[in-house]
Chain A
Amino acid sequence: MELGTLQILNEARASRRAAVVVSDLADGSSQAFVEGERIPPEWAEPVSEALHSGRPRLVDIGERPLFFNVHLPPPRIVAIGAVHISQALARLAPVAGFDMVVVDPRTAFATAERFHGVELLADWPEDVLPERPLDRYTALAALTHDPKIDDYPLRAALEARCFYVGALGSRKTHASRVERLRTQGVAGEAIARIKAPIGLDIGAASPAEIAVAVLAEIIMSLRRRDVDLPAEGAR
């Protein structure tokens, strides 16, 4: 593979854009195509097929053995609340291959000292999310317990069809949350997609254990999500 191909690919991955690398197995040449950029007509069909299916595959085109590798954006976790659970989650998420962003308007919580190595935005979700839209490759975990901070991003995540939407809080807290969201006009079917109480039931007690339970639930939702077009790992 030419260094230039690798650089284009890594740049696309860093900016959360899908990319396809086509390798000619016979002569070792390769080229990278990035979603949203102009694709030469002779490559348009197989590259667009690869981007849609998300499946890498080997094809012979004109007797040349070509390997199409597909690189979809890595899933991302957006945690609302720079709380103790988020601190543990921020350390676990990169190991499991997730990008992570923490949003909390309370500057006492959202300090660089408490969060190393993840992006930290000390602002209201209302101000952050329009600039950094949620998408299907995003998991949203609302972890503040505070309706003033949690409710807006929960609505935004349901609307953006995030593959995971979870909210911290007891059954009672969640029942009043459901009531509020209903009054705000959110459909019952959408509200039912919120995972609450948050996290797989592994009897987690400490904030770190709850973070493990949340991450496990996020992985389960990613691998078992409904997709219009099957992607690698989907069941």
Chain B
Amino acid sequence: MQNEPNILDPLAVAETWHGQGRSVALATVIETWGSAPRPVGSHLVIDGEGNFQGSVSGGCVEGAVIAEAADVIASGRPRVLEFGVADETAWRVGLSCGGRIRVYVERIDG
């Protein structure tokens, strides 16, 4: 167990946070269309207090993912989120680059 994880490495942060007794959710980009800012496989880690490290976009949709992560942490049920300009919520959260992404959010259990 690392006491001071590299804050640029979300997976190391996830393990450290869990070891500190914090609730942790992991968000992963699982699909992209068009010009998505972060490639498939990119991670964002969120704790129960809304602290986060990493990214799934260039900062466009992180806020919405963090809000959903709170539900995933509470219920333990993973979910898949989709974001893009075609989405009716585009005025609120969307990708200004015109791309579309799907993000899988799951809780770290153990």
Contacts and interface: CB of A to CB of B under 8 A. Distances in A.
Asked if A and B bind, the verdict is yes
Interface of A: 1-4, 6-7, 9-10, 13, 23, 25, 27-28, 30, 55-58, 67, 69-70, 94-95, 97, 232-233
Given A58-B30, A67-B28, A7 B15 contact: yes
Secondary structure class of chain A's binding surface, majority of residues: mixed
B99 interface: no
B77 interface: yes
B104 A23 contact: yes
A70 B41 contact: yes
A76 B1 CA distance: 22
26 contacts: A1-B107, A1-B108, A2-B108, A3-B18, A4-B110, A6-B11, A7-B15, A9-B11, A10-B11, A10-B15, A23-B28, A23-B104, A25-B78, A25-B80, A27-B78, A28-B78, A28-B107, A56-B41, A67-B28, A67-B30, A69-B28, A69-B41, A70-B41, A94-B6, A94-B8, A95-B8
B19 to A, nearest CB: 9
Nearest to B78: A28
Contact of B106 (A1, A58, A70): A1
A40 B52 CA distance: 35
Contacts of B11: 6, 9-10, 13
Contacts of A55: 40
B14 A6 contact: yes
Given A6-B110, A28-B107, 6 more contacts: A1-B106, A2-B110, A3-B109, A7-B15, A23-B106, A28-B76
A55 B40 CA distance: 8
- The 5 closest A-B CB pairs, nearest first, are A3-B110, A56-B41, A28-B78, A56-B40, A67-B30
A10 B12 contact: yes
Contacts of A58: 30-31
A232 B109 contact: no
Contacts of A67: 28, 30, 104
A30 B109 CA distance: 11
